[in-house]
A and B are shown apart, each in its own frame.
Chain A
Amino acid sequence: MAASAASYKDRQLLAVIGDEDSVTGLLLAGIGHVTDPPEAQRNFLVVDSKTENTEIERAFVNFTQERKDIAVVLINQHVAERIRHSVDTFADPFPAVLEIPSKDHPYDPEKDSVLKRVRRLFGE
Chain B
Amino acid sequence: MSGAVGREPVFPTRQSLGLMKSKLKGAEIGHSLLKRKSEALTKRFREITRRIDEAKQKMGRVMQIAAFSLAEVSYAVGGDIGYQVQESAKQARFRVRAKHENISGVLLPQFESYTKEGINDFALTGLGKGGQQIQRCRETYARAVETLVELASLQTAFLILDEVIKVVNRRVNAIEHVIIPRTENTIKYINSELDELDREEFYRLKKVSNKKQRDVAAADAEILAARQKEAERLAQNGTPAQEAKKAEEPEVTDVLGEQEDTDVIF
**Chain A residues within 8 Å of B, Cβ to Cβ:** 1-3, 5, 8-9, 11-14, 20-34, 42-44, 46, 71-72, 74, 91-94, 96-98, 100-103, 106-107, 109, 112, 114-115, 117-118, 121-122
Contact = CB atoms under 8 A, between A and B. Distances in A.
Contacts of A74: 148
19 contacts: A5-B107, A8-B98, A13-B96, A14-B148, A25-B67, A25-B70, A26-B141, A26-B145, A28-B134, A28-B138, A30-B93, A30-B115, A31-B93, A31-B94, A71-B152, A96-B159, A101-B64, A102-B67, A107-B59
Contacts of A112: 56
Contacts, number: 166
B59 to A, nearest CB: 7
Given A3-B160, A72-B148, A27 B89 contact: yes
Contacts of A8: 98, 109
B137 A12 contact: no
Contacts of B119: 30
Interface string B42-74: 000000010011001001100110110011000
B197 interface: no
A3 B60 contact: no
Contacts of A3: 100, 107-109, 160
A14 B96 contact: yes
B252 interface: no
Interface in B135-157: 137-138, 141-142, 144-145, 148-149, 151-153, 155-156
